[in-house]
Amino acid sequence: MSRPGTQDRTASPATANRRGRRARRIVISLLVLVALLVGADFGLAAFAEHTVSQKAREQLGLTDDPSVTIHGFPFTTQAIAGDYRHISLSASGVPIKDLKDVAVNAELENVTAPLSDLVNGNTDAIKIGQLEAQVTIKASDIAKIDPLTKIQDLRIEPSSVEYVQTGQDSSDEQTREQEEQDKSKAGVRVSGTVQIAGQELEIFCFAMIELHGTQIEIVPQRLQYGNDKETTVVPQAVQKALLPNFKATIDTGSLPFEVTPTAVQVNSGSVTIKGEAKNVTFSGATTAGR
């Protein structure tokens, strides 16, 4: 029995059950509220991404919306402040001058965009603190540049600068380091079929591809039959006649987002130009010369 003047501190089973149900309801309500807030955050982020994507499609002259991702969670706090840490944009089929199927990838950091302007689609107010972008040109586009049009089934593969210049690849680390440091040029192997004395012959041209402002130049060095595993010397008379067919200048116009080209890279089947910029506007996405 309880002592006189004191209360029985032992809760009844019914009271404990009521408290347990109340706690579960509170937890469930909190989870629902969190889910609603997260859903609203993702919904607002999706709306902002769609707005930026539509504007980029107009400025880049695309038929489809490019991919836009606004990184960071929660999005709402970034939107209220008007400051976004990181935005990624990628698009394919971008027309730049004579090129029709260019791929563009850009990483935008420290982006400032007032929420009211973003909601109203006024992307001109978007300012980008730091930006890295790259433009990739496919071999099929490069094959349309004169005089490369004379080469059938044009293909592009990377090659070392040393092999282009000497026909040999050494294991010298210093040579490799020097090649890696100079990003304004790269070795390239251009191959295809050409007509020689009425006959079709597969030729491999080893050339330098160099960056000069917004232009990339293919400067042929030597020709060979076969590939870099099995070399056949091409007579000098044939080289003199055919080398000009592999010399070309590709004008990319101005890169999107007012980017200054800083590097060129040869990939299997394409060439990539990389660049960076600081304190630019989103309106600079428009490519010159379209």
Specify the pLDDT at position 76. 80
Q: Rounded distance, CA 51 to CA 68, Å?
A: 9
Whether the CB-CB separation of 47 and 41 falls below 8 Å is answered with: no
Q: Is 40 helix (H, G, I), strand (E, B) or coil?
A: helix
Specify the pLDDT at position 210. 92
Count CA atoms closer than 13 A to 132's CA, side-chain side: 5
- Phi and psi angles of residue 173, each rounded to the nearest 5 degrees, phi first: -65, -35
Q: Rounded distance, CA 51 to CA 65, Å?
A: 10
Specify the pLDDT at position 245. 86
Q: Rounded distance, CA 203 to CA 218, Å?
A: 16
Whether the CB-CB separation of 251 and 215 falls below 8 Å is answered with: yes
Q: Is 228 helix (H, G, I), strand (E, B) or coil?
A: coil
Q: How many helices (H) and strands (E) does the chain have?
A: 7, 12
Specify the pLDDT at position 49. 80
Identify the segments of the chain with pLDDT beneath 70.
1-42, 119, 121, 170-180, 196-197, 226-231, 233, 253-254, 257-258, 283-290
Contacts of 29 (CB under 8 A, 6+ apart): none
Tokens of 258: 């007012």
Q: Rounded distance, CA 259 to CA 278, Å?
A: 9
Q: Rounded distance, CA 231 to CA 225, Å?
A: 6
Specify the pLDDT at position 1. 46
- Token pair 């029985």: residue: 8
Give the model confidence (pLDDT) of 87-118 as tens digits.
899 988 888 777 888 898 989 999 888 877 77
